[in-house]
A = this chain, B = another copy of it.
């Protein structure tokens, strides 16, 4: 399998960057997504179909050696059926957990990974139990289909909590105790059938309204790095994991608290394209094909700024020395991730200062 064909379910920016990393390796990508002109569909063959169209998924599977995905909201039963003839990596079992915030929290508990206290909300009476057990404020999250802060509400009291659940249309949810954190971090690891896990360094992330706006790496704290690697390692070991796995973390006064996992390449690792010897995208490809994993050595400090809503002018971005621009080929839409830009620097303070003009351009384009 030296010129492998890879199927990617979902052709968003993550799929696009996987395909851009795949071509130089001699890997041909084939997408499935709802829009032919999606970010990935612009540069590789695409089957246009709903993500839960099993016939279309099967057609994709028949064309490729391995299936992966750039979005975890794919029907797990379909992934399991597909996996009988074509490997689906990372494994559908992990996808099932990542899709369901309750299963995810239960996994963390089972593995001894600290996470926020939580109460499962299936009926109105569970709200009172959550109030009694968790204190205020409470973060209410739909169990399924949440990302970028969607399907989340913060409630300061019982009235707000009831209203929040109404707002979520009373879907199965999870109430979480509020975590007082100092900062948000994430860690990305890679593991293949025969190698790993290997890890990138911790990335420090800032969000706005639940959406990632900047990542800066490495966040240098050997003890936290060791603990976070242990978290990722234990999740990976549980599933005999193959691919890139990301864990989002809160740093609190009591140590690291796991927030969620993503069984895929992650926005907080986009800086690895320029900032690491091997990008998360290339290592995901290597991992699912069981090719040797690539070194995660750093090239100084890296800072990434997301472009939300609409792209700033390419000319203006590129007038910033060392700016590495990444357009996703998307139409503008409020709060939509349409691109990002990365800077590298040997000096962290200088990097942070150099990110400022980039953040201003991002803010101006996000009006």
Q: Is the CB of B321 within 8 A of A295?
A: yes
Binary contact track A303-345/B, C-beta < 8 Å → 1, others 0: 0000000010111001101101111010000000001000010
User: Given that A26-B325, A44-B43 are contacting pairs, would A318 and B292 also be in contact in the complex, using a CB cutoff of 8 Å?
Assistant: yes
Contacting residue for A291 out of B2, B28, B314, B327, CB 8 A = B314
Q: Is the CB of B23 within 8 A of A42?
A: yes
Binary contact track A22-33/B, C-beta < 8 Å → 1, others 0: 011110100000
Complex: how many Å from CA A326 to CA B26? 7
Interface: A294 (CB within 8 A): yes
Q: Is the CB of B2 within 8 A of A315?
A: yes
Complex: how many Å from CA A24 to CA B307? 13
User: Given that A20-B20, A23-B16, A43-B44 are contacting pairs, would A2 and B314 also be in contact in the complex, using a CB cutoff of 8 Å?
Assistant: yes
Complex: how many Å from CA A311 to CA B26? 10
Complex: how many Å from CA A311 to CA B3? 10
Complex: how many Å from CA A28 to CA B41? 13
Most B Cβ at <10 Å: residue of A23, A25, A291, A294: A23
Please, which residues of chain B bring their CB within 8 A of the CB of A63?
none
Complex: how many Å from CA A297 to CA B322? 9
Identical copies in the complex: 2
Complex: how many Å from CA A71 to CA B164? 62
Interface residues of A in 21-71 (CB under 8 A from B): 23-26, 28, 42-44
Please, which residues of chain B bring their CB within 8 A of the CB of A26?
311, 314, 325, 327, 329, 339
Q: Is the CB of A25 within 8 A of B329?
A: no
Please, which residues of chain B bring their CB within 8 A of the CB of A23?
16, 20, 42-43, 327, 329
Interface: A299 (CB within 8 A): yes
Interface: A133 (CB within 8 A): no
Please, which residues of chain B bring their CB within 8 A of the CB of A24?
20, 324-327
Complex: how many Å from CA A6 to CA B344? 28
Least distance between A314 CB and chain B CB atoms (Å) = 6
Interface: A286 (CB within 8 A): yes
Complex: how many Å from CA A292 to CA B316? 8
Q: Which residues of A contact B (CB under 8 A)?
A: 2, 16, 20, 23-26, 28, 42-44, 277, 286, 291-292, 294-295, 297, 299, 311, 313-315, 318-319, 321-322, 324-327, 329, 339, 344
- Having A277-B344, A294-B322, one finds 8 other A-B pairs with CB under 8 Å, namely A20-B23, A24-B325, A25-B314, A25-B327, A43-B43, A43-B44, A291-B318, A292-B315
Can you identify 7 A-B contacts, CB atoms within 8 angstroms? A24-B327, A25-B325, A26-B311, A43-B44, A292-B315, A292-B318, A295-B322
